[in-house]
Structure 1
Amino acid sequence: MRSDVVFPSAGLKLAGHLYIPDGQTPGPAIVVGHPGSGVKEQAAGLYARRLAERGFVTLAFDAAHQGESEGEPRDLEDPAQRVEDLKAAVSFLLTRDEVDPDRIGALGICASGGYALAAAATDPRIRAVGTVSAVDISRQFRLGADGVQDPAVVTDLLAAASTARTAEARGADVQRFPLFPVSEEEARAGGPHVHEGWEYYRTPRARHPRSATSLTWTSVDRIAGFDAFASLSLLAPRPLLLIAGRAAVTSWMSVAAFQKAYGAKELAWIEGATHVDLYDKDEFVTPAVEKLDGFFTAHLAG
């Protein structure tokens, strides 16, 4: 059963979908974070529903400043707030009678994979962490999705962000930049990763009216100064599962997180899958969910 819920995060009201299995008694629960620019109705909601069907209470929610959640300006991507949102979601689950307070895990998809690692590292209430197509959004902005981006790119982005901050201080409207190409032709010209992101977010495949199509320029310097893996040493001995597509251009970030983590950890590959394939394509989502089910069942066993 899915219900609409609202809970606070640093003074803002976040909108979520809470999935409760039929006949649920206090049991394990999982917070599910959405990809950058995503909303709870897309990949996060799919994984939340699929895991609820396997007996977990799950909570998918919109990050602050995005989707149906509160926060101005809209379309702000603030890593510190995103980490806080995940911790606030855990706090909300702790108020629910359906949830065993000692059996809460976190699942992060794409950018939320990085945020979930950062949140769990400093919040021991999160007993196990899983990620799907994990991205450290700072590394992606600084180094590119493939890790080989010219350093001049982020230098130019930071310059543009500082210009936008100055303009806004002088009375200009909030300054934004587009996240996706306008046409499929432009998307294909950007390479396979750009095209598959465009196809997911900007076509009937998964397009949603509340999914962000731009970010504020003031997001950029917040993102560039973040490091999702900085506190990973604090996660142990709690277990970690990283799931990545074998064909994902971003998989090097899951490898980097795996190498930096201590304790019980596993890097699981989904053969043939790209980064975005794991958002919604059943032939790849199903084995990912099966892996997550086994992982969370074992480590949230009570």
Structure 2
Amino acid sequence: MPAVSNSSTRRDVEFDADGTTLRGWFYPAPDSAPTAAVVMAHGFSLVKEAYLDRYAERFVAAGLAVLVYDHRNFGASDGSPRQEIDPWRQIEDYRHAITYASTLPEVDPDLIGVWGTSYSGGHAIVVAADDLRVKAVVCQTPAVNGVQTGWRRIPMTQLAAAGERFAAERIARMQTGEVATRPVIGDAADGPVYAADDAFDYFTAVGEIAPSWRNEVTVRTGEWSRAYNAGDHIERVSPRPLLMIVADDDTTSGTDLQLSAFNRALEPKWLQIIPGGHYGPYVEQFEATSSAAAEFFATHLHTSRR
């Protein structure tokens, strides 16, 4: 197996996405010939420095090229309003990233896979379902059912009030142009997106290694996320091979919701269940999750044929 790469082997890249410049890193494969490539981006509010370099290096060690980028409105990428997540724009930007990767001389455009995690794990499913250029997909602890997870985070008695806040923010934005935000983590009184202890610990650690990460998203981000059901697309991923990595105690994306989506997926498909919660894959379960994804891509993108 080729040696694991390091940051000195990658190069900074940027590409156009309908008039918005997205920026990231490109890692060439050890093989000088055009080879298979993985396109990847992070999950909800996160930036590429939050452990994605580790995954990219593992994929390079398996003989793959990798394109990692920041979503629009986040990190090094352009876009406004800052800190706003429109899942459908992010999905379209995955497709722009695939297009860009296919133009690079180091990449075989017929051998491109997509990798996503958490929120972008859901995106990876949708992209693979709709874009025939995708030849294999890995979704890690994917957010597959925004409606159900939204109901679980907000008690039924508070749904009306939440709807009123979304409506009020839209009126204020129209009248003043000001964009309201809310914290990703924090005290319950501040209305964070994630109130669980494991989320607080993970995002706090991210803040130490990824200076461009900001502890906020727009209020409208939450409204969109509650209506986004990526799992509705999973049957159409076939016949492209699918690997889903699920944590057995995921209280963020819901272990049961992910397994239900996986059961609806058609063959060929593979499931890896790992111990722990939603944020375990990046550190505690990194060896298991990165190795499984690297082997899956190396096998199903046929890099070994060279």
Query: How many Å apart are 1:137 and its aligned residue?
Result: 6.4
Q: Against the structure 1 CA distance between its residues 5 and 279, is the aligned structure 2 distance closer, same or farther, given a 3 Å change threshold?
A: same
Paired residues for 1:73-92 under 5 Å: 73-92=81-100
Paired residues for 1:147-226 under 5 Å: 150-171=155-176, 173-182=178-187, 194-203=196-205, 206-226=208-228
Query: Aligned pair 1:39/2:68, yes or no?
Result: no
Query: How many Å apart are 1:221 and its aligned residue?
Result: 2.6
Distance in structure 2 (CA, Å) of the matches to 1:296 and 1:100: 14
Query: How many Å apart are 1:198 and its aligned residue?
Result: 1.4
Partner residue of 2:103? 95
List per-residue Cα deviations over 1:143-187 (Å, max 9, x = no partner).
Answer: 337xxx5334454333211101101212152111111015xxx79
Partner residue of 2:3? none
Using the size of structure 2 for normalisation, the TM-score is 0.87
Q: Is the 8 A contact 2:42 2:120 kept in 1?
A: yes
Q: Of 240, 253, 256, which residue of structure 2 is paired with 1:252? A: 256
Partner residue of 2:242? 240
Q: Is the 8 A contact 1:108 1:115 kept in 2?
A: yes
Equivalent pairs counted in the alignment come to 290
List per-residue Cα deviations over 1:86-137 (Å, max 9, x = no partner).
Answer: 1111111100111111110011011110011011110010111101111136
Q: Of 264, 271, 276, which residue of structure 1 is paired with 2:268? A: 264
Q: Is the 8 A contact 1:114 1:229 kept in 2?
A: yes
Distance in structure 1 (CA, Å) of the matches to 2:247 and 2:166: 32
Distance in structure 2 (CA, Å) of the matches to 1:134 and 1:10: 26
Q: Against the structure 1 CA distance between its residues 115 and 140, is the aligned structure 2 distance closer, same or farther, given a 3 Å change threshold?
A: farther
Distance in structure 2 (CA, Å) of the matches to 1:168 and 1:75: 15
Using the size of structure 1 for normalisation, the TM-score is 0.88
Query: How many Å apart are 1:139 and its aligned residue?
Result: 3.8
Structure 2 counterpart of 1:276, one-letter code: Y
Partner residue of 2:5? none
Partner residue of 2:143? 135
Provide structure 1 residue ranges, at least 5 long, that are not aligned to the other structure: none
Partner residue of 2:280? 277
Identical counterparts, % of pairs: 27
Distance in structure 2 (CA, Å) of the matches to 1:31 and 1:154: 37
Distance in structure 1 (CA, Å) of the matches to 2:134 and 2:208: 30
Structure 1 counterpart of 2:141, one-letter code: S
Q: Is the 8 A contact 2:62 2:295 kept in 1?
A: no
Spell out structure 1 runs of 4+ moving beyond 6 A: none
Query: How many Å apart are 1:193 and its aligned residue?
Result: 7.5
